[in-house]
Each structure stands twice: as structure tokens, then as C-alpha cells.
A = this chain, B = another copy of it.
Amino acid sequence: MTEPLVVFTPSGKRGRVAPGTTVLDAARQLGVDLDSVCGGRGVCSRCQVEPAFGQFAKHGIVAREEALSPWNEVEARHDRTRGMVPGRRLGCQAQIVGDMVIDVPADSQVHRQVIRKDAAIRAITMDPAVRLAMIEVAQPDMQDPSGDWERTAAALSQQWGIEGVEIGLDLLAKLGGALRSGDWHVTLALHQGRAGHPVRVVGVWPGIFTGPVYGLAVDIGSTTLASHLCDLSSGDVVASSGVMNPQIRFGEDLMSRVSYAMMNPGGAAEMTAAVRSALDELARGVATDGGIDPALIVDAVLVGNPVMHHLLLGLDPSELGQAPFALTRAGGLDLGAAELGLTAVSPAARAYVLPCIAGHVGADSAAVALAEEPDKSDALTLVVDVGTNAEVLLGNRERVLACSSPTGPAFEGAQISAGQRAAPGAVERVRIDPVTKEPRFRVIGCDLWSNEPGFAEAIAGVGITGICGSGIIEAVAELRMAGIVDGSGLIGSAEQTGTDRCFAHGRTNAWLLHDGTEAGGARIAVTQNDIRAIQLAKAALYAGARLLMDEFGVDRVDRVVLAGAFGAHISPLHAMVLGMIPDVPIEAVTAAGNAAGTGARIALCNRGARREIERLVSHIQKVETAIEPRFQEHFVAANALPHATAPFTQLRQRVGLPDVSYNERAGASPRRRRGIG
């Protein structure tokens, strides 16, 4: 008798199996991805399949109803107690007796594809480090004494082929009780870290437990710790949450925290304790938000810039504040979550910290690279992660370069006369009519533009308190486009520019955006110093990108990705008008949102991604801006507004204005800024 032919969809894998083989066993024999926690005992219901009947010319199969064994008692019981989708069978119960076509629905696949909402074109293939496995363990025998754990390990070997498993004392203490209350059946959560490293038990449940278990993806930022809580079987983000980084009390920016560590004995340890306690609070909070027991969190992936990375790990960051900017530990790191002070999660939970790329380019940049994949792109891609420092990646399939540009905090609203953090009350968008030269703006916490009806009422509860990073960038770009600021960055006088909003401010001019002082509110103006600060920052960013382009041997890139929460708020058009980024067609500029958080989530859901980013990081060519003379040259050259003329010209033309500003029109020679750097 010919063995039945079976074709699995959507994989298309096919082969002949012995008559009476269960669908689950057939899937295993043919290498088909079909989930199972109970190992085929009919208790977990993870192996549900949809048999298809009829003629399948494509597969050369006529599948008859009788080609599968009849619905059995196990399936009937499962349908009664938990319900089954009509047309489905349990793969471990249904036996193949004739030619068959069997579909494995997405929810029965271990390595299912998860569409990333933040980048719809790409998907994450689920392959988390933690899986669940139920086993039946031999009972103790006085004649042949061995430990509960030894019999459990033997069962893992026999029933799942998993060898050399390790268990910590915490879970070992639970094992005996779980075995006995589960009638010698137990479900283990198993964590496979680096290949060749032992599998570790990270969870123990009596009898059958089908999950889900959860993982945390955390981006440790200087200002905020942001986390995603992910279901490790579906990949779903169950909750996202953030807390302030309490290290802020030791210094607003990275360098002031490094100074604190250098100046105060025990200062680094204080900052470590602060960030770890915030991380623990975050884990507890996101579990509450997701409505889950935090003890079900069994894995975590963490990223952060080099200083945050070192402080999280309890390493003194002092060396990162001075040349040669030496990291204590660069490589990816497998840890117990408890070693990072995570007490909210399972005590056996693991943690993975992504590698740092260089002393100024951290694990957060590695995560950005993992999320944005410049190394898998045919198009030469520039990825810019804007913050206090801007980390810049440039590359394609051939190679990837990285550097960090010292932009300073102006892009975050610091060192700006009316600047403030992005918080309710901050002006975040600015538009200036190039003809009337009148501005309108939007404020965080209010959906209306300032010139729209109802704005006054809507803003009453929020207030207008200052201008944040994206607001000042748009203001400067709009001022330039409206001809109020010239190519060297100088603000013209009211006479020169034809708007009363320009006023004398010391030996230079300033421009008034909003005056709320009559009502006791803020007065928001853009001063000449503000524009200088933005010029310095954008010149640094541009010079970093340009330096990488030099190293790559190109003078243009194919696309630009603006990463980071800040990147999500910058208008690509204004960024290009300012000359923050090299000229590309405007449609080739995209915002990637919190790409570092996304990268952490990818590494959480796919353990292969951890090795992939380690390989990429080791191959990335690191460029140190601090010692590159060309960086200084690019920096000085990039000071002018606009450095990039093409989009500026196009924009001016679009609104019917000549490509000149007050100064050019008046014939005055643009001043040159000297001595920067």
C-alpha cells in the first residue's frame, strides 16, 4: 500500500508518511512549523489545523473526508470545554490515512509573522528565546533514587530532545510541588540564549500551561525609560509605558551625569540604583497597564546609549566622558533580569542587552540599525537618531558606517531663550505666511492651530509656556523661507523684513512669535542666539552625515530615516530647508518613530535577531568625529542657511517667491560666522 501523501499549506512542504501518523508527527517529520506545548498529549490545543478536502490539481491530490481519522473523544472534550473553530482538528489527534492537504493557520505556527505597525512593510518572525513545553515526569522510585530535577531533565531529553537544561534554585524550589500537584505533569518555560549555552528553565507550572508568557522591550533613554510589554507567543504589544529617568536629578544631559560620576565617589552607583529602581517600577507599571501578572514576564531586552548602558550595568561611565571614550563592555550581554534589579518580573527571568557600537554610539543605535536594517537595503540609507547627540548610520548591503555628532541639546529645546521640553504648553509647530509674514502655531495639548476658531478657548486649559525642539526648528526654517532670516542666519530688522515682529535685541534682532504677557503668560521670541544654537546643532548633525558620506565615497544618499521620538516630530521638509540632512527627494525622507524601542522589540521576539545585530555591530565601520579633521571642515561649511539650496528653491517657487531673502534682495553681503568649533 502506498503511503499517504500530505501537503501542508501555507509552507507547501509535502511528503509521504506512514498511515496512521498524526498530523503533528507528520508536521515534525516534514519540518513544518506547527506549535505544541503538551508534546502531543491532546491538552494544549496549540496544534490546531484545518484539513482541506476536495481536488487539488496544484498539489496533485484528491483529499477525501475519510483520509483523516474521525473526530475523537479528546477533540470532542476540547470542543465542549474550550470550543474549537469549525472545520479545525487537533493535529495531535487526527491521523492521516489517505492523501491530504492540511492548512496550518497563523495562530498554530510558532514562527508566525507579525506585521510591524510602525513599519508596515516589514514583519517580525516570531522566534522568542522562551518557549513552553509540557512533559510527563517519572515518579520517584526508592529502588532507583534520583532527584525530581534529574527525572525532569531526563523527560525533557526523551520527550523534547532538549539536553543539558539548567534550573536556578528559585524555580528548583517550586519544581517538587508543581510535579506533585500536576500529577507528574509539568509545563516549563525554557530559555535558549546563545547557541551552545545551556537552556535555562525560567518558569514552572503544574500540569499544562499554554501561556502566554511575556517579555519586556525597554529603551533606557537619558530622559525617559520607554517599554513595550509583548506577548511572546503572538508578538502582540500588550501595553506600552514610560517613566522618567530619575537620573535627571544628577544632571539633565549625559555629560553632566558622566561628570557627576567623575566628581563624586559612589556617584555612578547612585545613578545605577536610580535607573534600576525606575526600571523595576516600569516593569510593574506596564504589567498593570497590560492587566497581567508581572511574574509571567520571563524575558527582557534592553537598549540605551553608552552612558545609560553602563550605568544600567553598574559600570562607571567616566571613561566615556574623555578620549578615547573607552567602553568597559561593548558586546551583547546575557544576564539574569535580577542582576539588573528587576524584582517585579519572574525571579528566573532573563535579560539581553544589545551591543554598543562605539563609545558614543550605543545599544540604542544598534537597535535602530536592527529596526531600520540599512544593511539589508539596496538603497544607500542614512539613519539619523536625533537627541542630545545625534547618532548617524549610513549604509547599504555592502557596508554600514556609524558615527555620533555632538549636536548639543538645542534640538531638545535647551539653550533656547524660550525653549522647553516637549510637554503640554510647548509650541511644537510653526508656519509663517511668506507673503503676510504672519505666523501661526500649534501647541502640545491642543489640536487647533493658533489662527483657527476656538483656539483661545481650547488653549485656556493648557497655556502657552515655551517652544520645544521641533517648534524652534520649524520656526527657524520658516523664518528663512519667509525671508526674515538670511543665508548666514541673521535676523533682519523690522525695516529690512517688513514685519513688526522683528525687533532690536541688544546688538542683533529678534522675532516675536507670541506675547502672552498681558494675560500673565509667556513671551516667546526667537533671538539671534537661538538661531546660532540651532545652526551649531544642525551643522554638527550635517557634518556627521557628510563625514560618513565621504568615508563611503558618495556625495548623495538615496533615502533618509529620521529616528527617535524627536525624529517623529520633525517635519522632513523643514529639516531639509535648515540643512540638517543632505538633499534627497522629500518623499525619500521618512520618520521611524521610536526605532530603538522597535529594535528592542524585534530582539525580544526573535532570538536570531540578537546574533544578527551582534554580527552587524562587529562589522559596522566606526568613525570617530572627535578626531576627524574633515568633521570640523564640514561643520564650519554647514553653518549657512540653507546649506541645501534645492528644496529651498523649490519651496519658494511653490509659493511664488524668489529664492532670496531680505538680505540678498537688499544686496547686503551675508556675514560669515567665524571661529565655530
Q: Which residues of A contact B (CB under 8 A)?
A: 139-150, 168-170, 172-173, 175-177, 197-198, 313-316, 319, 323-331, 335, 339, 356-359, 622, 624, 626-627
Shortest beta-carbon distance from A334 to chain B in Å: 9
A-B contact pairs, 5 of them (CB 8 A): A145-B359, A172-B329, A173-B316, A173-B328, A176-B315
Bound-state CA distance A540–B274 (Å) is 61
Contact, CB under 8 Å: B627 / A150: no
Interface centre among A148, A173, A622 (most CB of B within 10 A): A173
Knowing A147-B356, A169-B339, A314-B169, the reply to whether A328 touches B176 (Cβ < 8 A) is yes
Across-interface contacts of A359 in B (CB, < 8 A): 142, 145
Bound-state CA distance A143–B621 (Å) is 9
Using CB atoms, name the residue of chain B closest to A312.
B169
Across-interface contacts of A328 in B (CB, < 8 A): 147-149, 172-173, 175-176
B149, B170, B331: the one contacting A149 at CB < 8 Å is: B331
Contact, CB under 8 Å: A313 / B169: yes
B140, B198, B330: the one contacting A146 at CB < 8 Å is: B330
Knowing A326-B148, A328-B149, A329-B147, the reply to whether A173 touches B315 (Cβ < 8 A) is yes
Contact, CB under 8 Å: B147 / A331: yes
Contact, CB under 8 Å: A315 / B172: yes
Task: List 5 A-B pairs, minimum CB-CB distance, nearest first.
Answer: A147-B330, A140-B326, A145-B358, A147-B327, A142-B324
Q: Is the interface of A mostly helix, strand, loop or mixed?
A: loop
Bound-state CA distance A327–B149 (Å) is 8
Bound-state CA distance A132–B328 (Å) is 21
Bound-state CA distance A145–B331 (Å) is 11
Across-interface contacts of A169 in B (CB, < 8 A): 313-315, 335, 339
Shortest beta-carbon distance from A656 to chain B in Å: 50
Using CB atoms, name the residue of chain B closest to A359.
B145
Across-interface contacts of A356 in B (CB, < 8 A): 147
Across-interface contacts of A145 in B (CB, < 8 A): 324-327, 330, 357-359, 622, 624
Bound-state CA distance A148–B335 (Å) is 18
Bound-state CA distance A339–B171 (Å) is 13
Contact, CB under 8 Å: A313 / B146: no
Across-interface contacts of A325 in B (CB, < 8 A): 140, 142, 145
Contact, CB under 8 Å: B176 / A319: yes
Bound-state CA distance A143–B328 (Å) is 16
Across-interface contacts of A326 in B (CB, < 8 A): 140, 145, 147-148, 176
Bound-state CA distance A315–B169 (Å) is 8
B142, B147, B197, B314: the one contacting A624 at CB < 8 Å is: B142
Knowing A144-B622, A149-B329, A328-B149, the reply to whether A313 touches B176 (Cβ < 8 A) is no
Across-interface contacts of A140 in B (CB, < 8 A): 319, 324-327
Contact, CB under 8 Å: B330 / A150: yes
Across-interface contacts of A330 in B (CB, < 8 A): 145-147, 149-150
B175, B197, B316: the one contacting A177 at CB < 8 Å is: B316
Using CB atoms, name the residue of chain B closest to A326.
B140
Contact, CB under 8 Å: A313 / B172: yes
List 5 additional A-B contacts (Cβ < 8 Å) besides A142-B626, A143-B624. A147-B329, A149-B328, A168-B339, A169-B315, A170-B314
Across-interface contacts of A170 in B (CB, < 8 A): 314
Using CB atoms, name the residue of chain B closest to A153.
B331
Shortest beta-carbon distance from A180 to chain B in Å: 8
Bound-state CA distance A326–B624 (Å) is 61
Contact, CB under 8 Å: B331 / A150: yes
Shortest beta-carbon distance from A323 to chain B in Å: 6
Contact, CB under 8 Å: A146 / B327: yes
Shortest beta-carbon distance from A140 to chain B in Å: 4
Across-interface contacts of A147 in B (CB, < 8 A): 326-331, 356
Interface centre among A143, A176, A316 (most CB of B within 10 A): A176
Using CB atoms, name the residue of chain B closest to A167.
B329
Bound-state CA distance A141–B315 (Å) is 19
Using CB atoms, name the residue of chain B closest to A141.
B324
Across-interface contacts of A143 in B (CB, < 8 A): 622, 624, 627
B141, B150, B314, B357: the one contacting A329 at CB < 8 Å is: B150
Contact, CB under 8 Å: A142 / B313: no
Across-interface contacts of A149 in B (CB, < 8 A): 328-331
Bound-state CA distance A319–B180 (Å) is 11
Bound-state CA distance A324–B144 (Å) is 10
Shortest beta-carbon distance from A322 to chain B in Å: 11
Across-interface contacts of A624 in B (CB, < 8 A): 142-143, 145
Bound-state CA distance A622–B315 (Å) is 50
Using CB atoms, name the residue of chain B closest to A331.
B150
Bound-state CA distance A175–B145 (Å) is 45
Knowing A140-B324, A142-B626, A147-B356, the reply to whether A173 touches B314 (Cβ < 8 A) is yes
Bound-state CA distance A326–B150 (Å) is 11
Across-interface contacts of A331 in B (CB, < 8 A): 147, 149-150
Shortest beta-carbon distance from A131 to chain B in Å: 23
Using CB atoms, name the residue of chain B closest to A149.
B329
Across-interface contacts of A150 in B (CB, < 8 A): 329-331
Using CB atoms, name the residue of chain B closest to A168.
B339
Shortest beta-carbon distance from A510 to chain B in Å: 40
Shortest beta-carbon distance from A671 to chain B in Å: 35
Bound-state CA distance A357–B144 (Å) is 10
Bound-state CA distance A142–B624 (Å) is 7
Shortest beta-carbon distance from A380 to chain B in Å: 23
